[in-house]
Amino acid sequence: MRLPRFAVLPAAAALVLAACTTGGGSTPVPLTASPAEPTPVVPTPSPAADAGTYWLRLTTWQAIPPLNLFAVPDAQVITGDGILVTAGAVPAIFPGPLVMPLFGQQVSEVGRARILAWAKELGLLNGQPDFMGSGGLPGGITGRIELTVDGKRVTLSGLTGDGMGASSPDPGSPDAFMEMWRRLTNLPTMMQAELGPQTPFMTAAYAILIGPAPMPQGGINPSIMDWPLDTHIGDFGTPVANGSARCGLVEGADAAVLGAALAKANQLTQWVQDPTTSATFGLTVRPLVAGEDPCREIFGPA
């Protein structure tokens, strides 16, 4: 099921970096192969696939407040059963939808083998976890690659490089990590023939950050919506960020109920427990891929 790094930032992340708000997106045009490219295939997932976790995940970290970091999506993710999940395009409207749309493409066995071959070729699977080198800057962005190799999770970290790595890096070097990052964040371009058609990806869970209600902006008054779950919105999740917010996961049947409500909300929606409750709250929402838990990863164990 789950979120980007997606190659395209959702409005939530984009506005966090620009104005600390959240957002969503609209449906992009489905990918199609050009006449010069091989026809994309839809392979059968490996018998060893594990739909309960992710096979590949790229995340970024930097010295910004955890409340802001929560809205920054994955840079890339492939589910345990081989689905490349990406975020839809974000329209230039405000207030936009609260939750970004997700889209999925099956990655062939050949495609996943090629990713592992890249990691070996670049010398990233020799037991070294840290590829930071000496080029990091205070407050700079650090990338983390989590890759499944022979059924085990390998975690690598280094600078993302923003496309500035060497064209022919030395194996096992910081530049080699940057090159791997570049390839992984450009999978639809680099191995289009190993990807199936792009279709809507329905998440089965959400990470929800509950905080102060959004204020009117640009003369637009917030809409009001009822929190649809039985757990009181003021008691949902666990306190984080010195008690200024609450964070928790919504899964199973509750995710379906909440998802229907989220689809009707926008960036300025204020949430109440019921029409007679005066307290209002704001939501930051991350659709999840199986195995992710941003609440724990960003704010620490409950």
Residue 247: closest CA among 216, 280, 207? 207
Task: Encode pLDDT of 162-179 as tens digits.
Answer: 656 667 899 999 999 999
Identify the top-confidence range among 14-18, 21-25, 95-99, 250-254.
Answer: 250-254
- The predicted pLDDT at position 101 comes to 87
Task: Show me where the domains of the chain are located.
Answer: 11-199, 203-299
Confidence of residue 139 (pLDDT cuts 50, 70, 90): low
Neighbours of 188 (CB within 10 A): 14
Identify the top-confidence range among 92-106, 127-141, 233-247.
Answer: 233-247
β-pair partners for 207: 249, 286
pTM of structure: 0.79
Report whether 70 contacts 209 (CB < 8 A). yes
Question: Over pLDDT 90: what percentage of the chain?
Answer: 62
| Confidence check: pLDDT of 28 > 60 | no
- The predicted pLDDT at position 47 comes to 41
Please compute the mean of the pLDDT values over residues 140-167 and round it to a whole number: 86
Please compute the mean of the pLDDT values over residues 10-14 and round it to a whole number: 38
Please compute the mean of the pLDDT values over residues 132-138 and round it to a whole number: 71
